[in-house]
Amino acid sequence: RKEVEQDPGPFNVPEGATVAFNCTYSNSASQSFFWYRQDCRKEPKLLMSVYSSGNEDGRFTAQLNRASQYISLLIRDSKLSDSATYLCVVSAPHGDSSYKLIFGSGTRLLVRP
């Protein structure tokens, strides 16, 4: 089982639609959670952190459910420019005193006119 699992998609939605992605993680010791965005043939960039109480940044809302070990990302009023791959990222202990970031393989979103 992968440490971080995402539906690869693609999710094909019209402009203006609301779309949600989920991600599950296997390590209950994970402490920090993030969504990154990766455009085609580009490097990943941090989209937003995910806090326990849930958080919102404009049209984007992230939620965390520790009990079920899943994270979600909701995008409202989708724009053409939202087309990208969204990577779920989770921190996990690595060795005695460090942590590392584990990346999901991503969910691809296509927003059509």
Partner 1 sequence: DVKVTQSSRYLVKRTGEKVFLECVQDMDHENMFWYRQDPGLGLRLIYFSYDVKMKEKGDIPEGYSVSREKKERFSLILESASTNQTSMYLCASSSSKLLRAPRTGELFFGEGSRLTVL
Least distance from partner 1 to the Cβ atom of residue 53, Å: 14
Q: Which residue number, 32 or 69, has a Cβ lying nearer to partner 1?
A: 32
Least distance from partner 1 to the Cβ atom of residue 57, Å: 14
What secondary structure does DSSP assign to the chain, as a single string? --SEEE----EEEETT--EEEEEEE--TT---EEEEEE-TTS-EEEEEEE-TT-EEETTEEEEEETTTTEEEEEE-S--GGG-EEEEEEEEEEETTTEEEEEE---EEEEEE-
Least distance from partner 1 to the Cβ atom of residue 17, Å: 26
Q: Which residue number, 12 or 105, has a Cβ lying nearer to partner 1?
A: 105
Chain residues that interact with partner 1, rule: CB under 8 A? 4, 8, 31-34, 42-46, 49, 87, 89, 91, 94-95, 97-106
